[in-house]
Chains A and B, each alone.
Chain A
Amino acid sequence: MGELRAYAKLAGAQFRSVTSYRTSFLVEVFANMGATVFDVITVFVLFRATPEVGGFNLQQAVLVVGLSSSGFALADMLVGNVDGLKNYVRAGTLDAVLVRPLPALPQLLLMDMPLRKALRVVFGFVVLGGAVAVNDIDWTPARLVLIVAAPVAACVFFGSIFVISASLAFWWVDSGQIGSAFTYGGRDFTSYPMTVYGGWFRALFAYALGFAFVAYQPALALLGRADPLGLPAWAGYVSPLVALAAAAAAAGVWRAGIRQYRSTGS
């Protein structure tokens, strides 16, 4: 109970701090939504030039981008600010977090909860809803479960990627933008059908790192379409398992990182 109260205090302090600069906060809320809006607009612009990208038409592509951006927006709001870890490690301010009698990760997340990202989550799910409406999906119980589970799994998956990329700072303080290649890069990668990519790049990102299971495979399963790349039909339904594996990996990396952490002593 005491722990929960402490977390609530942290979240409340954060809320008061963001609302003290109201103009900036409001601008940020809309700018953040704008980021996701532009991702979706990009897809529409590309389809102006061609009826099919990688063998998928616009409606199907919107389903892929809807799954990806709803999951990403949710993960970015809940976990994305773990990005700031490198600043805490550099300045040694992580010490203050570690000496408190609460787990470090939830504290970090609540200390800088980006409420400005709330509206973009709403937009991500609006796109997903629109995509479900325009595609002629043959609803079965399994698909009903999948449409709920897939964005959650995508959120867990992206959240794990956020934690792993941020943990890099424990070993390499100046890792800078490397994490973005996998977090924001992962979002962009999963916004398109995997058929678009080629060679070892697809093998690495889609299958070795598992990004294919965020949006592409679930979208195929929802549409009842065979995978042009040859994975079986059930591949779309394993996305929660892939997400759990990613979460386990993230937990392991985080724990190893915390053990590895040495303060700057300042």
Chain B
Amino acid sequence: MPAASATTEPTAERTSRKRGAPPARGAAPGRRRQFTTRRGLLIAAFMAPAAVFVAVFTYYPMLAGSQMAFRNWKMTDLTDTSWVGLKNFRDIVTDPTWGTVLGNTAVWVLGSIVPQLVIGFALALWLRRRFRFRGVYQALVFFPWAISGFLIGILFRWLFNSEFGVVNDLLQKAGLIDEPVAWLADPHKAMAAVTIANIWYGVTFFAIMLLAALQSIPDELYEAAALDGAGKVRTLFQVTIPYIRVTLVLTVLLRVIWIFNFPDLIFGMTGGGPNNQTHIVTTWMIKITQQGDYGRASALGLIVVAMLLVFALFVLLATREKRGTKA
């Protein structure tokens, strides 16, 4: 039964089952043909509501927004919405904030993803084996996920408060600092603080994904490795990591895109301040939108899309590899 085994080996089996699905339905060929029109109608009718909603409220504004990038479109003065070519793009690239924004985005993405991956992987490895209260532990550790990024920003804004913040208090008690640190008033320290908050938030995602992947590794592989006399470290690098390599790569790539696109936390924690020094690309875009310069915000949006397309390409290549090799 191909369908039954689909639950144990999801990806590989599922694609092969699907390719063979229509003939396997068990009906005579004549009967199937008779249903073709009705089948088409059913597909159209079931897809229609989703398609209409997404087309009207997501795709239409997105496309409309793209053409604004080439126009003078300011909410402060809607009388002149003439085409201005690449002016909005030039304005972005020549803005003194742009360099800071790019640097911050790199710090934000890399500074978040690397610790998230390392800690998340460690958590997943250690949560593989059952222990008492493991369920409770998982529930507690996975909780940050239910909280909005914006609210997490607010939470950490309070923790890192320079006068009444508990972080300063704890560091002073531990003797690590003598005086309270004005975390969110200094650009570098503020970037460090928002990145720490994001690590707190994002580790869970890696732990969930990697734990699921680890649990799909057949025991026989470990038994074989043990028979070969492989130690802990060798087993990790020669059995575990190779087996879940594709999930690892995909999770990291998807996460890079997601973190890149994730302004909520910084918005709640510093609002891009002090003095625009903690903006990443997307928080800056929100600021420009709020100032009413839709043309410039859209131009920045298109730049983001172009950057993300490069990443998306990587994602697609990695997915293709997954379909091809793992069987």
State whether these chains interact.
Answer: no
